[in-house]
């Protein structure tokens, strides 16, 4: 792993990833004004092997001509009427099994001026899982929708909007995605600066 820092940008580079590189990565920035952190989840997927070329069984051409069978004398069959038994079949519908949720695009830290709008957004996979639920937390407290706070969950796009931010809105916002197959989360820091 290589870490490079240029001016105000720091980059973590993994030249050759393996399955063991999967996990949560956290970066912490510290200066005289304080400390902030963010984290992201990395999932390394094994490369699928290319499909093998199909093969066909080569059979030799027949050398013997098959003669048709001689006609058979007709057979007498006696039929008796039988009342059919009605059978009912229940159609079984199976729900598809989705992969555990992951964040394709995580949340990003925000710096806003007091009284302006704050907008968090992220991209979640898979799309269409009916068991998936989205929950937002502010400093580990559940965020409820209100006239000032609005949340969106639409085809893998999740967002949270805060109208008319105040200094007390500063803190860590966390989005938690839960489904029948797993849980994923992403966090970001909101810093509201005083309006002069």
Higher-confidence residue of 79 and 116: namely 116
Distance, in Å, from the CA atom of 147 to the CA atom of 5, rounded to the nearest integer, reads 41
Q: Look at residue 33 in the predicted model and tell me its pLDDT.
A: 76
Distance, in Å, from the CA atom of 34 to the CA atom of 29, rounded to the nearest integer, reads 8
| Ordered structural domains, the chain, with CATH | 101-193 (2.60.40.10)
Q: Look at residue 62 in the predicted model and tell me its pLDDT.
A: 67
Residue in 134, 135, 161 with CA at minimum distance from that of residue 150: 161
Cα atoms found within 13 Å of the Cα of residue 151, Cβ hemisphere only: 16
The full length of the chain comes to: 196
Q: Look at residue 92 in the predicted model and tell me its pLDDT.
A: 56
The DSSP call for residue 128 is -
Q: Please say whether the beta carbons of 149 and 78 come within 8 A.
A: no
Distance, in Å, from the CA atom of 12 to the CA atom of 128, rounded to the nearest integer, reads 32
Distance, in Å, from the CA atom of 104 to the CA atom of 122, rounded to the nearest integer, reads 8
- Tell me: the pLDDT tens digits for 106-119? 999 999 999 999 99
Distance, in Å, from the CA atom of 184 to the CA atom of 52, rounded to the nearest integer, reads 35
What average pLDDT does this structure show over 87-94?
60
Most confident of 28-32, 69-73, 86-90, 115-119: 115-119
Name the band, by pLDDT with cuts 50, 70 and 90, for residue 158: very high
> Strand 102-105 and strand 118-125: pairing?
antiparallel
Q: What is the dihedral of CA 33, 120, 142, 148, to 10 degrees?
A: 100
What's this model's pTM, rounded to 2 decimal places? Answer: 0.51
């Amino acid at each position: 792993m290589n870490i490079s820092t240029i001016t105000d940008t720091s980059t973590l580079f993994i030249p050759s990833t393996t399955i063991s590189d999967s996990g949560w990565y956290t970066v912490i920035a510290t200066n005289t004004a304080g400390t902030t952190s963010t984290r992201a989840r990395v999932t390394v997927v094994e490369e699928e092997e290319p499909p093998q070329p199909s093969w066909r069984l080569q059979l030799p051409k027949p050398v013997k001509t098959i003669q048709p069978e001689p006609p058979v004398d007709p057979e007498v069959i006696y039929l008796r009427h039988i009342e059919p038994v009605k059978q009912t079949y229940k159609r079984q519908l199976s729900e598809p099994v989705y992969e555990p949720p992951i964040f394709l695009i995580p949340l990003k830290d925000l710096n806003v001026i007091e009284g302006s709008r704050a907008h968090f957004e992220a991209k979640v996979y898979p799309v269409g899982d009916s068991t998936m639920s989205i929950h937002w937390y502010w400093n580990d407290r559940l965020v409820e929708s209100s006239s000032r706070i609005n949340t969106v969950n639409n085809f893998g796009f999740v967002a949270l909007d805060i109208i008319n931010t105040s200094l007390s809105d500063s803190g860590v916002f966390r989005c938690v995605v839960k489904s029948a197959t797993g849980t994923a989360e992403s966090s970001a820091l909101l810093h509201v600066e005083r309006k002069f």
